[in-house]
A and B are shown apart, each in its own frame.
Chain A
Amino acid sequence: MGPSESKSRRTPPAAGQVPPPHGDELSRAAPLVGYVPSRMSTNTALQGTQAWAKPSPRMWAMRKAELGLLTVLALAAGVAGAAGTGSLPGTIGALAGVALLAPFSLWVTLRRYRAWAYQEREDDLLVSRGVMFRRLSVVPYGRMQFVDVTAGPVERLFKLASVRLHTAAAASDARIPGLEQAEAARLRDRLAALGEARAAGL
């Protein structure tokens, strides 16, 4: 993991203090309310007080279940493969490998799950994710083309859904996984209404 993860380099809240140095079009800077999780260490643009919304805790349960299933499969494959060749050291090696790898994957999965956060602001939606590679996406409601709510079979099992915002740019990646289905529906309706109200042409 990154070396500077724990010591978050937070400078004082930037709201209204820093005059934007980028030309007159850009200087309509309004004071920002927002709070970037401390892990988003070097981005001081969004530090404030407003809390970020998180995916449902059931998403963590889903991730654990997925990982558990994967571990069982890996164990079975390892044992079967080693038993096929009939070597005891091979079997032990495979088991040890899985035993070492499983907690590590669990840790990585937990951190990645915790990194997801989103915030509905007045004019735009923020989505933050990633541990090693931290990403923060901003989509103004007026630029939204349509909203997708998807729920795969596993997600349905855990009564979860993902919401995805599409803009005219293919690269926009505002996706929020692991939402409670009611929350996903609420978010979809709200985003659609806001997008409708502020729609701007291409």
Chain B
Amino acid sequence: MPERGVPAAPGPTWQRLHPLTPVVAAVRSLAVLALVLLEDSRSHSGGVGPALIVVGSFAFLLLLAGLVRFAVTRWALDGPTLRIETGLLRRDARQLPLARIQAVDVVRPFVARAFGLAELRVRLAGSGRANGRLAYLTEPAALDLRARLLAGHHGLDQATPEPAEQPLATVPPARLIAAALLSPAGGITLVLAGALVALTTVSQAAAAAVGGTLFVYAISFAHRTWRRVADQYGFAVALAPDGLRLRRGLLSTVAETVPFARVQAVRKVEPLAWRPMGWCRVEVDVAGSPGREQGTRSSRLTRALLPVGPTATADWLLASALGLRQFELAKPPRRAAWKSPLSYHFLGSASESGVIAASKGRVRKTTMWMPLEKVQSIRWVEGPLQRALHLATVRVDAAGRGVVADMRDRDSAEASDLFESLLAWTPT
């Protein structure tokens, strides 16, 4: 690729996106519209002619817009920053400092895959607006650029080849499908089906009503299951010196790299429906946007380290990938059961060797591990019932939304000690 030999001299060498970019973008936006319009026109008397004209003119406009966008977009790897410039009327020049990278993803949407193209996404901490997106590059170019960005992020020479990785775990499709079916929505579908069978013998009208509901629900359930399976299909996690590599996807594939130092917290989720199988999910939190202004999905960057797997695999993965030594969590005192009767059995917390751990949740048991150096703020919460029982909750927040280690219903003296030691550990 032409970006070899970035000059140290004044101007960066600007690169363009792949010339097929407008085509891919147009096809991606058109596919749905064309399907809807053609399907709709088939039922009308006019035939497919008018619909074709509409689709054709849309295609032309989209292609034109894509061409303009392509013409005004350029990027360059300029020493320690990635620069992206785009926009015809409103110029948008971004500088992404490599040192601040949170994660680098290579995404291959289905259409782009057909052309051998890939999209590179660079995430920085802070708002979603600070992210960089290069769509589309050829696959080798995208992988090469990713290697350069990550090498630059770690302060190495950018020409350092991508280090070899060590595969850690994969998820077989059968388990993925089983796990997707074993969800609350699956349970509801089953109950509805049972009700339908029971009602057919009693009343035809009621059965018809339930049948209709079941039909709609089953379709949405099937759609969701399909999306989850297609999203996580062929999931593989590998360990590389520069971070964790995550690969997944059936039609569109995603390859993510998470630098270790950027992991804010790790959590293990054990939903009720998976408990008989002894399965769990492992997620890592990477810093996202803190503000409430953006309102985008990127506000919380949660990545599945293992979408579904046996607890033993999960524990092994946590130990080998993140060096997390798990330790016994201490239960809150017995009297906390008066305040949290349902979740008492799953409450627990402890802190050891610089890591805080806390678990909670009756239906979705969630255990959170958070390194102390990632702590952003500490909170003490004490409700009237807790006060009467001499209990208190200590919450520890890390970057992102809802990344909270919730040490619920601890004995107040213990909580005070914990709070004091957390305070003494001021991360400066």
Q: Which residues of B contact A28 (CB under 8 A)?
A: 424-425
Residue A29 contacts which of B125, B354, B402, B424 (CB distance < 8 angstroms)? B424
Tally of contact residues, A, Cβ under 8 A? 54
Closest to B377 in A: A172
CB <8 Å contact, B412 and A42: yes
Mark out the residues of chain A between 122 and 166 whose CB falls within 8 Å of any chain B CB in the assembled complex: 123-124, 132-143, 145, 166
CB <8 Å contact, A143 and B387: no
CB <8 Å contact, A21 and B417: yes
- As a 0/1 sequence over residues 366 to 388 of chain B, the CB contacts with chain A under 8 angstroms (1 = contact) are 00000010111111111110011
- As a 0/1 sequence over residues 156 to 184 of chain A, the CB contacts with chain B under 8 angstroms (1 = contact) are 00000000001111111110000000000
Residue A200 contacts which of B353, B404, B421, B427 (CB distance < 8 angstroms)? B427
CB <8 Å contact, B387 and A2: yes
Q: Which residues of A contact B412 (CB under 8 A)?
A: 42-44
Beyond A18-B417, A166-B290, whether A32 also contacts B423 by CB under 8 A is yes
CB <8 Å contact, B379 and A138: yes
- As a 0/1 sequence over residues 8 to 24 of chain A, the CB contacts with chain B under 8 angstroms (1 = contact) are 01010010001011111
CB <8 Å contact, A202 and B354: no
CB <8 Å contact, B398 and A124: no
Q: Which residues of B contact A143 (CB under 8 A)?
A: 375-377, 427
> In whole angstroms, what is the CA distance A39 to B67 when docked?
66
Q: Which residues of A contact B170 (CB under 8 A)?
A: none
Closest to A2 in B: B384
> In whole angstroms, what is the CA distance A1 to B421 when docked?
30
CB <8 Å contact, A3 and B388: yes
Q: Which residues of B contact A124 (CB under 8 A)?
A: 423, 426
Q: Is the interface of B mostly helix, strand, loop or mixed?
A: mixed
CB <8 Å contact, B415 and A132: no
CB <8 Å contact, B395 and A171: yes
Q: Which residues of B contact A202 (CB under 8 A)?
A: 102, 125, 262, 264, 287, 374, 399
**What's the count of A-B pairs with C-beta under 8 Å?**
182
Q: Which residues of B contact A139 (CB under 8 A)?
A: 376-377
- As a 0/1 sequence over residues 37 to 63 of chain A, the CB contacts with chain B under 8 angstroms (1 = contact) are 000111111100000000000000000
CB <8 Å contact, B377 and A26: no
> In whole angstroms, what is the CA distance A69 to B326 when docked?
56
Q: Indicate if B351 sits at the interface (CB-CB under 8 A).
A: yes
Q: Which residues of B contact A9 (CB under 8 A)?
A: 390
CB <8 Å contact, A26 and B290: no
Residue B377 contacts which of A14, A20, A174 (CB distance < 8 angstroms)? A174
Q: Indicate if A4 sits at the interface (CB-CB under 8 A).
A: yes
Q: Which residues of B contact A142 (CB under 8 A)?
A: 426-428
Shortest A58–chain B CB gap in Å is 28
Beyond A28-B425, A169-B400, whether A136 also contacts B380 by CB under 8 A is yes
CB <8 Å contact, A32 and B401: no
Q: Which residues of A contact B387 (CB under 8 A)?
A: 2-4, 41-42, 134
> In whole angstroms, what is the CA distance A50 to B425 when docked?
20
Q: Indicate if A85 sits at the interface (CB-CB under 8 A).
A: no
CB <8 Å contact, A23 and B287: no
Q: Indicate if B232 sits at the interface (CB-CB under 8 A).
A: no
Q: Which residues of A contact B422 (CB under 8 A)?
A: 26, 138
CB <8 Å contact, B379 and A23: no
Q: Indicate if A30 sits at the interface (CB-CB under 8 A).
A: yes
Q: Indicate if B168 sits at the interface (CB-CB under 8 A).
A: no
> In whole angstroms, what is the CA distance A171 to B397 when docked?
7
> In whole angstroms, what is the CA distance A87 to B213 when docked?
48
CB <8 Å contact, A45 and B351: no
Residue among A22, A40, A43, A172 with most chain B CB within 10 A: A22
Q: Which residues of A contact B395 (CB under 8 A)?
A: 171
Shortest B402–chain A CB gap in Å is 7
Closest to B383 in A: A133
**Known interface pairs A134-B387, A137-B378, A143-B427; 15 further A-B residue pairs with C-beta atoms within 8 A, sorted by A's residue number:** A4-B387, A22-B352, A25-B425, A29-B420, A29-B425, A42-B415, A134-B381, A134-B382, A135-B380, A145-B290, A167-B397, A169-B397, A169-B398, A170-B290, A170-B397
Interface residues of B (CB under 8 A from A): 102, 125, 262, 264, 287, 290-292, 299, 351-354, 372, 374-384, 387-388, 390, 392, 395, 397-404, 412-413, 415-428
Interface residues of A (CB under 8 A from B): 1-4, 9, 11, 14, 18, 20-30, 32, 40-46, 123-124, 132-143, 145, 166-174, 198, 200, 202
